[in-house]
Amino acid sequence: MMITVVGTGYVGTTTTVALAMLGHTVCGVDVDPVKVRALQSGSLPIFEEGLEDALRRETAAGRLRFTCDLGQALPGCDVIMLAVGTPPDEDGSANLRALEEVSRQLGRLLQPKAHGRPPVIAIKSTVPVGTGERVRGWLLQEMILRGLHIPFEMASNPEFLREGRALHDAMHPDRVVVGADTPGAANVMKQMYLPLQAPLLLTSIRDAEMIKYASNAFLATKISFMNELARLCERVGANIQQVAQGMGFDARINPHFLQAGIGYGGSCFPKDVQALQALAAQSGLTLQILQAVEAVNASQPGWFLQKVKHVLGSLNGQHITVLGLTFKPGTDDIRESPAIPILKHLEEQGAQITAFDPQGMAAMKQRFPNVTYASTLQESLRDADAVLLLTEWKEVVEHDWGASWSELRQPIVFDGRNVLDSAQMRAWGYQYYGVARPS
């Protein structure tokens, strides 16, 4: 099949590569010429394990190309995937400006196909229920201005990949969701994903749009539930990890997304939890559970910091080492990272901060220029009064903590992700504090 993907950010780039790996001929289109030039020359503007190699392989095999020129990417296309950003507006609702711009452009640029089925326009971006119809409307308005009606069909095809595992998730999805209002569009999308051999759910466009928000909101709910429970566990002397393990054996609960910590971050959970609430508000509803999910998440970094202050007293002048800046390991993305409010608070309290992160330091330096960024983890530990572990990078978890003890001025570690071996850390002489992990 011939496929065009509009928007080559995190999702768009992964989608182009994955579809090329399935044997399709794919063109990625973006308005950002710097991004497009990088992709054309085989380099990724983001850090994502394995994706760059696959990008080069598929480009060399002739299945993948990139352009800024949407008009040039359209002739003969079977599917046009829209993967532009849908960032939050001030009221939390999804901002659809980029999607509207692309839709109107398509309305101006689409040409009748010489043969074969009309193209399917599939929305991959995360969008509120009803957006499929709005996209169709924008396209039709532009066509009417041209005095033409060029046939096309609409579909919704939300994406469920995780950053840090993007290509793996795109190639091995738990499920593919396709919302389509015509059997023809459903069939084209089904054929496109056939080589994946993944479970496929066919729904209406509205259902598919809701499934995406519902999934992210539910995962965020699991995390906030565990974070709130961790606060209680800490008060009553229970271990949240044991509790999570005991809960997770129940197949109805499952063991995933039960890790308490410093709160969820990233470009999606915070924005999607807000966008679903904004959608509800437009329908006159309040989603009380999601309000609580958001509130717990917003206060989790502060709850963690209270523990730090309880042990260290005033932070003024204390040398604090922060390990991990990205919102999760395996990415260079710091969007909505819980490290941001934590660094902000430490700075406000007058702490001297040294940070280390394998991928996130360049981006964080833009926001926190007064933090010292160490070139190695070992260097970051030197003379620290305390260490705050904020992202569970492999480098941090597997660090030789036994040998580093003497580097620190005070061997105090606050493990915001519960990833270090608490008994071993204590045996090595550390004062170790996890999240609801009593000794």
Ligand X SMILES: O=C(O)[C@H]1O[C@H](OP(=O)(O)OP(=O)(O)OC[C@H]2O[C@@H](n3ccc(=O)[nH]c3=O)[C@H](O)[C@@H]2O)[C@H](O)[C@@H](O)[C@@H]1O
Ligand Y SMILES: NC(=O)C1=CN([C@@H]2O[C@H](COP(=O)(O)OP(=O)(O)OC[C@H]3O[C@@H](n4cnc5c(N)ncnc54)[C@H](O)[C@@H]3O)[C@@H](O)[C@H]2O)C=CC1
Residues that bind ligand X (CB under 6 A): 126, 159-163, 216, 219, 223, 257-259, 261, 264-266, 268-269, 327-328
Task: Tell me how far apart the alpha carbons of residues 364 and 340 are, in angstroms, rounded to a whole number.
Answer: 8
Binding partner of residue 211 among ligand X, ligand Y, none, CB cut-off 5 to 8 Å per kind: none
Least Å from the CB of residue 403 to ligand Y: 36
Please, what is the Cα angle at 376 between 374 and 381, to 5 degrees? 70
Q: In what order do the strands lie in the sheet with 412-415?
A: 372-373, 352-356, 319-323, 386-389, 412-415, 431-433
- 176-180 vs 153-156, strand pairing mode: antiparallel
CB-CB contact of 251 with 218 (8 Å): no
Q: Which residue positions form the known binding site? A: 30, 35, 86, 126, 160-163, 212, 257-261, 265, 271, 328, 335
Task: Tell me how far apart the alpha carbons of residues 379 and 357 are, in angstroms, rounded to a whole number.
Answer: 12
Q: Which residue positions form the known binding site for NAD(+)? A: 30, 35, 86, 126, 163, 271, 335
Least Å from the CB of residue 7 to ligand X: 14
Nearer to ligand Y, 210 or 408 (CB): 210
CB count in 10 Å sphere of residue 129: 18
Least Å from the CB of residue 163 to ligand Y: 5
Least Å from the CB of residue 259 to ligand X: 3
Binding partner of residue 85 among ligand Y, ligand X, none, CB cut-off 5 to 8 Å per kind: ligand Y
Binding partner of residue 42 among ligand Y, ligand X, none, CB cut-off 5 to 8 Å per kind: none
Least Å from the CB of residue 305 to ligand Y: 27
Question: Applying CB under 6 A, which of residues 32, 89, 207, 379 lies at the interface with ligand Y?
Answer: 32
Task: Tell me how far apart the alpha carbons of residues 17 and 324 are, in angstroms, rounded to a whole number.
Answer: 29
Least Å from the CB of residue 266 to ligand Y: 7
By CB under 6 A, which span of 31-39, 230-238, 307-315, 367-375 interacts with ligand Y?
31-39
- Per-residue contact string for residues 138-167; x = within reach of ligand Y by CB under 6 A: ---------------------x-x-x----
Contacts (CB under 6 A) with ligand Y, residues 353-392? none
Nearer to ligand Y, 32 or 207 (CB): 32
Please, what is the Cα angle at 48 between 395 and 66, to 5 degrees? 160
By CB under 6 A, which span of 83-91, 131-139, 319-327, 376-384 interacts with ligand Y?
83-91
CB-CB contact of 3 with 81 (8 Å): yes
CB-CB contact of 311 with 432 (8 Å): no
Nearer to ligand Y, 234 or 333 (CB): 333
Return phi, psi of residue 296, to 5°.
-60, -45
Q: Which active-site residues does the annotation give?
A: 268
Burial class (CB in 10 A: 0-12, 13-18, 19+), 199: exposed
Least Å from the CB of residue 71 to ligand Y: 12
CA 46 vs CA 121, 160, 315, 334, 358: distances in Å? 26, 18, 35, 12, 14
CB-CB contact of 404 with 383 (8 Å): no
Contacts (CB under 6 A) with ligand Y, residues 263-322? 267-268
Question: Applying CB under 6 A, which of residues 4, 5, 12, 171 lies at the interface with ligand Y?
Answer: 12
Q: Which helix (H) or strand (E) holds 376?
A: none
To the nearest 10 degrees (0 to 180), the angle between helices 131-146 and 205-236 is 150
Question: Applying CB under 6 A, which of residues 39, 64, 74, 84 lies at the interface with ligand Y?
Answer: 84
According to DSSP, residue 234 is labeled: H
* Tokens of residue 205, six digits: 């466009």
Binding partner of residue 261 among ligand Y, ligand X, none, CB cut-off 5 to 8 Å per kind: ligand X
The residue with its CB nearest to ligand Y is 9
Please list the helix, strand and coil fractions of the chain in percent, rounded to the nearest 5, in that order: 45, 15, 40
Contacts (CB under 6 A) with ligand Y, residues 117-136? 125-126
Binding partner of residue 119 among ligand X, ligand Y, none, CB cut-off 5 to 8 Å per kind: none
Single-letter code of the amino acid located at 38: A
Q: Which residue positions form the known binding site for substrate? A: 160-163, 212, 257-261, 265, 328
* Tokens of residue 410, six digits: 């005070």
Check binding of 35 to ligand Y (CB under 6 A): yes
Nearer to ligand Y, 8 or 16 (CB): 8
Binding partner of residue 328 among ligand X, ligand Y, none, CB cut-off 5 to 8 Å per kind: ligand X
Nearest to 339 by CA among 394, 277, 417: 417
Q: What are the residues binding ligand Y (CB under 6 A)?
A: 6-12, 29-32, 35, 83-86, 98, 101-102, 125-126, 159, 161, 163, 267-268
